[in-house]
Amino acid sequence: MSKIAKLARERCVPLVMVAFPVARQVGSSTKVSREPQRWLAEFCQKESIPLLDLLPACDEYARERALTGEDLFPDGLHPNAMANQIAAEEIHDFILAVREME
């Protein structure tokens, strides 16, 4: 990832990162590890890369509709149409917000 960030900077290409949750993280009432998101956040902060963590949006969507993580990520990892819609809307808003800050 460092190489990608370096290449993007060298070529003046805007770069953002998006962290997708896994099913067991979404809608969980227990403390499920957020270590992947923490690691990515630390990396992005160090590299000055804007990061969008989709866990809060997916979690809110699931809780409001009494869904589980498996309802959004049926195989535990890959998003279905609902999760992709959430991601698309969040990424759209995130990119617009990042562009406004430039």
CA atoms within 13 A on the CB side of 31: 1
At 33, the pLDDT band (50, 70, 90 cuts) reads confident
- Domain annotation for the chain: domains and CATH numbers: 2-101 (3.40.50.12700)
pTM, rounded to two decimals: 0.90
At 31, the pLDDT band (50, 70, 90 cuts) reads low
CA of 18: how far to CAs of 29, 37, 67, 90, 100, in Å?
Answer: 23, 10, 22, 10, 18
Q: Which amino acid, residue 3? A: K
Residue 100 pLDDT exceeds 80: yes
